[in-house]
Structure 1
Amino acid sequence: MSDTIRDLLAAHADDLHALGAPDRPWLTHGGLRDLTAQALGALNGIGIGPGDRVAIVLPNGPEMAAAFMTMAQGVTTAPLNPAYREDEFDFYITDLKARALVVAADYDGPALPVAERHGVQVIRLTHDPASPAGWFELETGAAGAAPEYADPDDVALVLHTSGTTSRPKIVPLLQRNLAASARHIGTTLELTPEDCCLNIMPLFHIHGLIAATLSSLAAGGATWCTPGFNALSFFGWLDAVKPTWYTAVPTMHQTILARAERNREIVERNKLRFVRSSSASLPPQVMTALEETLAAPVIESYGMTEATHQMTSNPLPPLPHKAGSVGIEAGPLVRTADVHDNRILEYGATGEVVISGPNVTPGYEANDAANASSFFEVEGRRWFRTGDQGVFDDEGYLRITGRLKEIINRGGEKISPLEVDEVLMDHPAVQQVVTFAMPHAKLGEDVAAAVVLREGQEASERDIRDFAARHLADFKVPRKVVILPEIPKGATGKLQRIGLAEKLGLTG
């Protein structure tokens, strides 16, 4: 059993493609192994090895992918969003207790004064644009040493939870967690050395790191690293790279869909084996349109950081994949549980989604209260509470009915925002919608929705509310509909319900 990243990547032929990028030759699997030995040797030469934390602040692209894939084999990596401001870097770098910070050779951003202030060693990463995609050198000022690799129980990756409603929590993920998740994803998607993923996801996020990149490399396949999602460039990349698949969040899929018709010839000559969607609920209408437009199955999966990404997934054909469902178990055991007494429920009973398996974090770091509320033991297993509410159908497909903390409590009546989203998405003028709670003086909360209209279409707030009233019980109909040119998104492209009322000035 492969229980470390090194084990996962050791078996593939030297000449297979591993990492690609625009205007760069391919880095092979053999080249990636050579780069790993060089990078870890450089870090070991300055006394940084397994258990030591290295913050990585690099732009999306092959060097970021390669830095994570190589360093995570022998130190604890902490990828951070390059767009953070100085106070954000100050929080994350100090909270992580990072020993070193890896930045690009020409980086002159806000992470530097933070590192200097806290005595964190800065390591510059240099690369030659003529070299294979991802190939880099670390400027440490010291001679390299023999590379030291991590053990299965060493922490490979630390990430913070989003911290929407409280202080972000540190999620440590072990070598064995990453190895298990990469295997699970590879099995679900039937990945082989013939596959190439077009990565448009940020590489400071678990989705891009594990689903797009590590799972591809673990299968002997390749990942082609873009500089980040760009709808104007997507179809050009598709034509140049001819990938077999890509993975994205729903907002990215919707943007791709909006530009697909004007790129019809490129789509027709570049057939994808499948498209994957994860990290947020994919509206069934978008899934259907995407499948028709790209002529490929769209596989919706369900993931989160604490599970090293994937928990369930719709399967590939010939097994059915169901719109509105996040699929069947795809790695860990997945059940629903009673939120009050930790009782595992029968299939068909709505409850909190809980998981148990080799890809699940051992627990939040230095946070006994969060661990006590998030983990429980029953039936001889340790279960993690996802915070999502869901229900299985009689074929074992899971449908997420809402995030527990996002369920709208309107005077005691509980409303799933996802249910309202799906109804409003059927309105012919609606391109995108996010339903959320807004404060109400007497009821506590009421229903509101932010809507983006399709290009060239018109609809008023009253039109949309009337449409909802024909399909929903009165208490579920949004009392306020805000029509926007664009809905505010998080750093990874996800729509965020919590806090949206405040952002849109609906709290007064």
Structure 2
Amino acid sequence: MELSSRSFRFFNRFLRPLGTSKRYKAVNFRVVKEEVNSELVHAFNQDTKAGGAVPVFRRALLFPARIALQDDSGIYTYANLHKNATVLSQEIAAQLLGETQRTVAYMCDSDASHVITQWAIWMTGNIAVPLTSLHPAEMLKYFITDSDASLTVCSENFENIIQPITEELSKAILVIGKNGQVKDQVYKPDTKDSKLSDDSNILTDVGKTNIWYGEADAMLIYTSGTTSKPKGVVWTHNMLVSQIASLHTAWQYSANDVVLHALPLHHIHGQLNSLNASLAAGARVRMLPKFESHTVWARLLGMNGGAKTEIQGEGQSVEAKVSVFHGVPSMYSRLCADHAAMFEAPRTASRVRDTLRTMRLACAGSAPLPEALFRRWEEISSIPLLERYGMSEVGMALSNPYRPVEERTVGCVGIPLPGVSARIAVSVEGQEDLEPLITVECEEPDTQISLEKLGLLPKDASGIDTEWKQPSITVHKENKDGEYQGELLLKGPGVFSRYWNRAPKLDQTDFTYDDWFRTGDTALFANGRFKILGRTSVDIIKTSGYKVSALQVESALLDHPSVTDVAVLGVPNENFGEIVVAVVVLKIGSKLTLRDLKESAAKKLASYQMPRRLIVIEKMPRNAMGKLDKKEIKKLYGDKLKSKK
């Protein structure tokens, strides 16, 4: 099916104003406490046993009256989101002439409109492709073209970005507009107390069957493109179900959670950890339009600028205190820096620490977590950060333990999450495939829905296993010191099987012959846990006959009090093969010599790991997820990086 270049507008009373920014006072409102629909849960679980997948939007039928989401414009129940997505899905289906498994690109703010649009795409049986205004026009053009998007949906405030691109590509565009409020929105700024009508939570099930979704693609998540052109990772609904069950088991998501969301939504970190895993649990998501340190601090400390919830029949008001926060190391670094400025007084810092102590989980990932940052966050919050490892192709794969918190190890990413198998393998001369050294496997989680597990029923013998068990370990090639280093391979139902629009090749290096995904990361398995040493092609520096982890060197250099950011690269050299070069950003007014830097790092680094050159720059190139862009560093500072003999 081909669509000519057309522009459709979707103005109706169901879509609230986008991009508003109003200050408003806290208001109490009443929410009808829902009855648990045990029959629906049983039906969903039967479909799951038969190979189906219950999409996230359909789980809203289980808890329609619960608060699902709060953004800067209002508060929404699961029923609100589902109803509005249903209306939008009818328009999307009409534009696609009822076809399914087509790709639909969309650009919305990080608010309710994003969830409504994503759910609407899934309701029509199509594939969601999230876009972001952070990307330039040429990159957006690439995503729309590479994904073969049949339709692009955008909020009206992004029309000036998307419209010229779709016109150039002769693609259809659907603009969702501003006039009117969301129907049955629980709370809106500048209004009096509001409560739902008696029938406002009655929902009509829409979409395909759960069995159909068990075979269907759900979304494309594009890689960051740090080593090649971005590729669209195909996420199926079954992958999402498996990943959600894994995180629910390992990190204990529940309907009682309030999750603060400040991550970009075109990456799997924001899509899975903060958004879909939370909504699938019946939790409440507090969405911020973007990460701003002072705003995040305000929300973490309970200054919500929003509403209190009062559950009808229980006679109590419940503050929406944040219980879960997912961030990247650069976010935590900014929060720590602003903490020193805002909460300098000891008594104030103590109150902040006491408030944060009520949070149950603060997660870090997408980039290496420096030890100094881990220690500083624990000092100011009493919460040891939970570091984990994931990527676009595998979602979340490895994690430090949720409990006990004392076993979280800085610099390590723990063990495989439920349903994940991890392997260390190496290249052997004369062999086409990699040779496995050690395999660590964690059994699959139960993907059935458990109302007890989600905190919606009293704990009893539900028959559903909710424990994250210790993995089994198979040693293929014994190493006397018990340490195994090589490329990290992953396998499991939550691991992708293909890139969009790219046919497998006989000589492809994405998978081994026995279908293990090659992450391209070098890892070390020792003392029962994994440690990521860096990208095999970028972060492993071969110098003087040694293999040096750039990430390990970066962590040590960040301990210097004058250094705020650092990138370590290997630069070709005739005498050493490569030499270690440190590119640093200094604190304002600071100075640093190579000798000072090496003296500071000597406590943690061997002589061969030490940088031989130092380059000071004003700002470090990073992508939207806070990852160092070493390709851009080499491009910008190539002349300075060239090694002298």
Q: TM-score, normalised by structure 2?
A: 0.71
Shift of 1:273: 1.4
Q: Summarize deviations over 1:127-175 as a string: whole Å, max 9, x none.
A: 568544999xxxxxxxxx9953361221111122222332322211111
Residue from 25, 39, 64 that aligns with 1:14 = 64
Match of 2:274 among 212, 215, 229: 212
Letter in 1 for 2:303: A
Matched letter for residue 376 of structure 1 = T
Output one character per residue of 1:327-384: Cα deviation in whole Å (capped at 9) or x when no partner. 1111311121224432321263112111111111111232423983111244xxx311
- Contact conserved, 1:62 with 1:133, CA < 8 A, in 2? no
State which of 493, 496, 506 in structure 1 corresponds to 2:626: 493
Residue aligning to 2:150: 99
Asked if residue 473 in structure 1 is aligned to residue 606 in structure 2, the reply is: yes
Answering whether residue 389 of structure 2 is matched by residue 310 of structure 1, we say no
1:101-500 equivalent positions in 2, closer than 5 A: 101-127=152-178, 131=182, 132=185, 147-149=206-208, 151-238=213-300, 239-241=302-304, 242-261=321-340, 262-263=342-343, 264=349, 265-266=351-352, 268-270=354-356, 271-307=358-394, 309-318=395-404, 320-331=407-418, 332-340=420-428, 341-346=433-438, 348-365=483-500, 366-369=502-505, 372-378=508-514, 382-395=515-528, 397-406=529-538, 407-410=540-543, 412-440=545-573, 443-454=576-587, 458-469=591-602, 471-500=604-633
Greater mean alpha carbon deviation, residues 85-94 or residues 66-75:
66-75
Indicate if the aligned counterparts of 1:19 and 1:27 stay in contact, CA closer than 8 A.
yes
Q: Secondary structure at the match of 2:113?
A: helix
8 Å CA contact 1:12–1:29 kept in 2: the answer is no
| Alignment-derived partner of residue 6 in structure 2 | none
Question: How far apart are the structure 2 equivalents of 1:43 and 1:501?
Answer: 44
Equivalent residue for 1:60, pick from 101, 110, 124: 110
2:278 maps to a residue whose letter is S
- CA displacement at 1:439 relative to structure 2: 4.0
CA change 1:393–1:18 in 2 (3 A) is same
Change beyond 3 A, Cα 1:146–1:21 = closer
User: 2:82 matched to 1:33?
Assistant: yes
**Alpha-carbon distance in 2 for matches of 1:478, 1:116:** 50
Q: Is the 8 A contact 2:258 2:284 kept in 1?
A: yes
The 1:431/1:28 distance shift into structure 2, 3 A limit, reads: same
Aligned-partner Cα distance in 2 for 1:432–1:370: 41
Distance 1:134 1:351, change over 3 A: farther
What amino acid maps onto 2:435 in structure 1?
R
1:474 to partner: Cα distance: 2.9
Deviates more, 1:116-125 or 1:449-458: 449-458
The answer to whether the 8 A contact 1:3-1:180 is kept is no
Give the Cα separation in 2 of the matches to 1:297 and 1:31: 36
Cα RMSD, aligned residues only: 2.7
CA contact (8 A) 1:44 1:148 kept: no
8 and 479 in structure 1: CA distance in 2 versus 1, 3 angstrom threshold? farther
Secondary structure, in 3 states, of the residue corresponding to 1:368? Answer: coil
Distance 2:586 2:98 in 1: 52
Q: Does the aligned pair in 2 maintain the 1:244–1:273 contact within 8 Å?
A: yes
Q: In the superposition, relative to structure 1, how do residues 297 and 5 fare at CA in structure 2: closer, same or farther (>3 Å)?
A: farther
Aligned partner letter, 2:384: P
- Does residue 158 of structure 2 align to residue 71 of structure 1? no
Matched, 1:90 2:226: no
Larger Rg: 2
Q: Deviations over 1:398-424 (max 9, x none)?
A: 111221011122354321101111221
Could you state the TM-score of these two structures normalised by the residue count of structure 1? 0.89
Shift of 1:190: 0.5
1:151 to 1:66, Cα distance in 2 relative to 1, 3 A: same
Whole-angstrom CA distance in 1 between matches of 2:62 and 2:164: 41
Which has the higher mean CA deviation after the structures are superposed, 103-112 or 325-334?
A: 103-112
Matching residue of 2:468: none
Cα distance in 1 between the residues matched to 2:336 and 2:287:
21
SS at match of 2:271: helix
Q: Structure with the greater relative contact order (CA < 8 A, sep ≥ 6): 1 or 2?
A: 2
> For the residues of structure 2 that align with 1:57 and 1:134, how far apart are their CA atoms?
25
1:202 counterpart letter in structure 2: P
Q: How far, CA to CA, are the matches of 1:353 and 1:114 in structure 2?
A: 39
Give the secondary-structure state (helix, strand or coil) at the position aligned to 2:259: strand
CA distance in 1, matches of 2:53, 2:525: 31
1:287 counterpart letter in structure 2 = F
Q: Which moved more, 1:209-218 or 1:182-191?
A: 182-191
The 3-state SS of whatever aligns with 1:306 is: coil
The one-character-per-residue Cα deviations of 1:81-133 (angstroms, maximum 9, x if unpaired) are 21222222222211111011111123343432221122211111235685449
| Most deviating of 287-296 and 148-157 | 148-157
Contact 2:106 2:131 in 1 (8 A): yes
Distance 2:57 2:288 in 1: 26
Does the 8 A contact of 2:129 with 2:221 survive in 1?
Answer: yes
Deviations 1:219-278 (A, max 9, x none): 111211101111232212223343111111111111111112324345543432120011
**Amino acid in structure 2 at the alignment position of 1:359:** G
Counterpart contact for 1:32–1:70, Cα < 8 Å:
no
Q: Write the distance in 1 (CA, Å) between the matches of 2:365 and 2:186.
A: 26
CA displacement 1:274-297 (0-9 Å, x = unmatched): 200111111122112112211223
How far, CA to CA, are the matches of 2:583 and 2:161 in structure 1?
Answer: 33
| CA distance in structure 1 between the aligned counterparts of 2:424 and 2:359, rounded to whole angstroms | 34
Task: Report the AA paired with residue 201 of structure 1.
Answer: L
- Counterpart of 2:134, as a letter, is A
Q: 1:362 to 1:404 in 2, by over 3 A?
A: same
